[in-house]
Amino acid sequence: MAIDTSLIDTLNGGTGAKTTKTSVQDMSDRFMKLLTTQLKNQDPTNPLDNAQMTSQLAQMSTVEGINKLNDSIKTLLDGYKSSQTMQAASLIGRQVLVDGDVIGLNKSLGGGAIELKGTTDKTVVRIFDSNGNEVRTLDMGPQKAGVQAFIWDGLDNGGQKLADGSYTFKVDASKDGKDVGVTSLSLAAVSSVVVNDSGIELQTPELGSRLMSQVRQIY
């Protein structure tokens, strides 16, 4: 007598039902109960096929193993996400260096940074006001690859003091006349933390939201 092909369906609660509807232990208990019942009521002249019984036991073991693995992975991910959330929350009130091209001028002092993909022999930061007018040019000279910070004293090219507020900047970086890849980085204060499907985001007044993965430095 062959094992009833509806055994797995019965375990799953009906055709097409998902095994996640029951716990792994509960599913195992139901499987063994059904199998024991079949063994007790088998036809002595046509006993259960060993190969089929072994196959179903193997399927049961695989399902149980997958469910346990999924539970373990979920526990690890939940723990990792909780750890990241706590780490992000500790940044509230601090300043971070993240992707961006904004300079916040406060009490005539501002600054930012650039990330260079290679060494340069010419590195120039050009600062613009809210109307798009270039107000200051900072010559940083030769620079090494990596993150390089700069400070702005709040003066324009004519030496006049500019009003505090939000400015933007662009960078020209080159080596032997050839452009060098550069990423603009802004200094921003973290005001709050948001956890959503895309990950953990830091909210800043200057730049809006930024992902944790975009943080280069913390101050």
pLDDT for 109-141, tens place per residue?
Answer: 999 999 999 999 999 999 999 999 999 999 999
CA–CA separation, 91 vs 203, rounded Å? 10
Asked if CATH classification 2.60.40.4070 holds for the domain at 95-218, the reply, yes or no, is yes
Measuring CA to CA, which residue among 141, 107, 139, 110 is closest to residue 125?
Answer: 139
Least confident of 35-39, 106-110, 136-140, 152-156: 35-39
| Domain limits, the chain | 7-89, 95-218
Measuring CA to CA, which residue among 162, 174, 173, 161 is closest to residue 129?
Answer: 162
Sequence-ordered alpha helix ranges (H) in 50-120? 50-89
pLDDT for 49-103, tens place per residue?
Answer: 556 656 666 666 666 666 666 766 766 655 555 566 677 788 898 999 999 999 9
Length in residues, the chain: 219
Q: Check if the beta carbon of residue 104 is closer than 8 Å to that of residue 112.
A: no
Which residues are CB-contacts of 175 (< 8 A; sequence separation ≥ 6)? Answer: 118, 119, 120, 121, 122
Average pLDDT, the chain: 80
